[in-house]
Each structure stands twice: as C-alpha cells, then as structure tokens.
Amino acid sequence: MTEPRANRPSLFENALAELRAGRIETAQVLCDRILESAPRDPAAHQLAATIALRRGRLEDAARWASSSLSLRPDHPPTLILAARVARAAGDFAQARTWSESAARLAPDRSEPAFLSCVTLIEAGDEKARSVLEDLLTRFPNFVQGWREIAEALRKAGHPKTAVLAFARAAESSADPVDHARLGAALQAIDRPREACVAFRRALEAAPDLAEARLALGTCLRQAGELQSARVELEQAVTLRPSDGRPWFALGLVCEDLRDTPGAIEAYRRSIEAQPDVPEVHVNLGLNLQNAGDLDAAMDSYRRAMRLRPGTFGRIAQALTSANKGRLWLNSARLRRLLEA
C-alpha cells in the first residue's frame, strides 16, 4: 500500500523520534513504509542509512548512504553520514574524503569540521594540529565534537593532547560524565591531583556516579591521601556492592593504612563479586599470612595459582619475606604444594 504524500512528513518525524528514543525496530518499520511510497526520496535513503548504522549493519548503511548521495551528491548531512559509515567500516581514506567535502560545502557547520579533524588524527596526518587550533577558535563549545577528538587522540597514542580536548568538552558540557572522562584522562598521564579535581566536579553534580567515586578513591591513594581515599571507596562499595573492583581498591587502601582486618574483609568481598581475579587471592593470602592464619593464606595462594600460575614468584617471595611466613629452601616443592 502506497503512503499518501501528505503523510510522509509526519512519518519522517515519527521515525526520527523513535530513533532518538532508541526504538530502532519501530523506526525501521516507519522507514520501510516511507521507502515503499517514495523509493527515490533521498531523505528516505539517508534515514535508512542512519538506522542501519545504528543497528551495526554496515553494508546496508553503506548501500543506503551511497544511493542517497547519488540522488543528492552535494548534500552535507548525507556526506557526513557517509563519512561516519566509512569510518565505522575502517575505510578512513573514504571517510576523510567525504568529511572534507561536507566541510567545504558547509564551512559554518561544526560537525563536518570536527569529523574531518578526527579522520586526520586517525590517519596520523600532521595537518591535524593546525586544524585543531582552527576548531578551538571557531567552535570552542561544540561538546560532542571535542569528545570525539579526545577519544581519537587517546586511541592514537596522544594522551596529553587528548586531555586538552577532554577539558574543552568538560568546560562546555552540562553532563558530569564529561568531567569524569577528563579525570580518567588526567589519571592516565599520572596527574592524580588534577584528576581528583575533575572527579569531584563530576560527583558534585552526580553523587551516585559509581565509576567516578571509584576513580576518585584510586587517585587519592595515588596522591597519598589515604584516609580520604578510604572514605571515597567506602562510598563506592556502597553504590556498587556487587562490583569487585571497588572492594579490591578499598583493600589496597586498608593495606596502606595497616588495617589488616579491613583489608581481609575487602578482599573477601571482592572475591565474592569476582572470584576469578588472581591478584585479589594473592593479596588476601598476604593479609591472612600477616594476621597469622597461614593455612587460610595457603588456600588463597593455591586459588591464585590455579587462576594464573605466573603468580608463583610473588607468592614465594611473600611466604619467605613477610613477618609471619615460612622458609622454603626448595622452590620446586613449594610450587608442587601450591599446585596440588
């Protein structure tokens, strides 16, 4: 059944609304109806390409983007979409060609300019630096663009420059996650005190942001602020008690504070949540050993060895060097005992 021409605008609006709401299947049904009634409508082809890209169907997305471009070859939004499809498929040269064409046709639009810069970064082109400076002047507050550039720089192995892009996004964004991303980028280049500032900014707006709370605790430990780190990590485990990572981080802080019972409890809770992480079993064993429970420590070491035989070196060192350990003159015998 052919859809009346008068109904097409409302169908487009409904399809886009469904797509924005994440109801992709419904958007696809509406798009199919539009294509049935208007098989050569370039906007319908563009919509079909957008939906296919969202669904991860790159061949379909490329086919629809190509047909949309054949119907209106100098349409900047379609060129941008085609560039994104090509980039998702790993064809960076084609993505660059289409994004640069879109940028030439629409010099005042931010999206093609940023996408063109991303493709330069991914290609390792030295022009990216001058383009970045130009974008900073022309579009300093385009949050999504700075996010994409930051991620491209990080993946390309330029973490310090990525920090500048993450900072630009955070300064212009109302989303606390952007401050958390900045914090993670600062943490990655060993600037924990600055990272703490960014994570705190994120948590001021979203106190229940568990990842930021965990990261803040970790950075505070790096900065030597152990009591503050413990406070943050105790909140992190409350926010996400079934995640082993904050429990493990809390265990490390308890160790630093020489709170052996606290460390043992934290490591046990971490193992309950994620039993297959050998480092946690080793750390639990070390603390059980320090508490004088050598039999329980040996059980933990055995579990670590089963998960990763390479932990033997650390275990052997712990058993012989800790205050409450055992002297093993025959390392082969110790290995056999732990592997039993």
Please name which of 172, 243, 242, 252 lies closest in space to residue 219, comparing C-alpha atoms. 252
Q: How confident is the model over 115-144, as pLDDT tens digits?
A: 999 999 998 999 999 999 999 999 999 999
Q: How many domains does the chain have?
A: 2
Assess if residue 161 is contained within a domain. no
Q: How confident is the model over 204-240, as pLDDT tens digits?
A: 999 999 999 999 999 999 999 999 999 999 999 999 9
Q: Which residues contact 311 (CB under 8 A, 6 or more apart)?
A: 278, 279, 281, 282, 301, 304, 305
Share of the chain above pLDDT 70, in %: 92
Whole-angstrom distance, CA of residue 236 vs CA of residue 25: 37
Share of the chain above pLDDT 90, in %: 84
Assess if residue 181 is contained within a domain. no
Query: Over 80: is that where the pLDDT of 2 sits?
Result: no
Please name which of 75, 339, 51 lies closest in space to residue 63, comparing C-alpha atoms. 51
Assess if residue 5 is contained within a domain. yes
pLDDT at residue 324, rounded to an integer = 56
Per-residue confidence at 199, pLDDT binned at 50, 70, 90?
A: very high
Assess if residue 77 is contained within a domain. yes
pLDDT at residue 1, rounded to an integer = 46
Q: How confident is the model over 257-276, as pLDDT tens digits?
A: 999 999 999 999 999 999 99
Assess if residue 133 is contained within a domain. no
Q: How confident is the model over 38-69, as pLDDT tens digits?
A: 999 999 999 999 999 999 999 999 999 999 99
pLDDT at residue 332, rounded to an integer = 64
Domain boundary among the residues 50, 67, 91 is at: 91
Assess if residue 256 is contained within a domain. no
Query: Over 60: is that where the pLDDT of 277 sits?
Result: yes
pLDDT at residue 329, rounded to an integer = 43
Whole-angstrom distance, CA of residue 103 vs CA of residue 107: 5
Q: How many other C-beta atoms can be found within 10 angstroms of the C-beta atom of residue 276?
A: 12
Assess if residue 236 is contained within a domain. no
Q: What value does the mean pLDDT take over residues 88-108?
A: 93
Domain boundary among the residues 91, 121, 141 is at: 91
Q: What value does the mean pLDDT take over residues 72-91?
A: 95
Residue 193 CA to chain centroid, in angstroms?
A: 21
Assess if residue 150 is contained within a domain. no
> Structural domain of residue 36, as residue ranges?
1-91
Domain boundary among the residues 73, 91, 109 is at: 91
Q: How confident is the model over 6-45, as pLDDT tens digits?
A: 566 788 999 999 999 999 999 999 999 999 999 999 999 9
